[in-house]
Amino acid sequence: MATPRFLDDIGSKLSELAANSPARDIEKNVKAMLGSAFGKLDLVTREEFEVQREVLAQARQKLAELEARVAELEGRRTGETDKSA
């Protein structure tokens, strides 16, 4: 019966060591440093990025349509100028 108690003690000591290990402290410090560094950067979420990408695609489409319209109007104007000359 002493063996299960002994194993429980060893298990609890190992758990305590793992919780208080330098690796755990390093992990906490690195996470804090990265969190601080990313907090200072002007980053956007994936959702915000996708929304802006869609807005840009729509703006490009509209620009292409307007460029085609301007080219058409310039063509008409050039045709009218040629006729009146």
User: What pTM does this model have?
Assistant: 0.50
Query: Are the CB atoms for 14 and 21 separated by under 8 Å?
Result: no
Q: Where are the domains of the chain?
A: 1-42, 44-85
User: Is 84 buried (19+), middle (13-18) or exposed (0-12) by CB count in 10 A?
Assistant: exposed
Place of tokens 């840009």: 56
pLDDT tens by residue, 40-83: 888 889 999 999 999 999 999 999 999 999 999 999 888 777 66
Q: Please report the DSSP string for the chain in residue order.
A: -HHHHHHHHHHHHHHHHHHTSHHHHHHHHHHHHHHHHHHHS----HHHHHHHHHHHHHHHHHHHHHHHHHHHHHHHHHHHHHHH-
pLDDT tens by residue, 19-42: 777 777 787 888 888 888 878 888
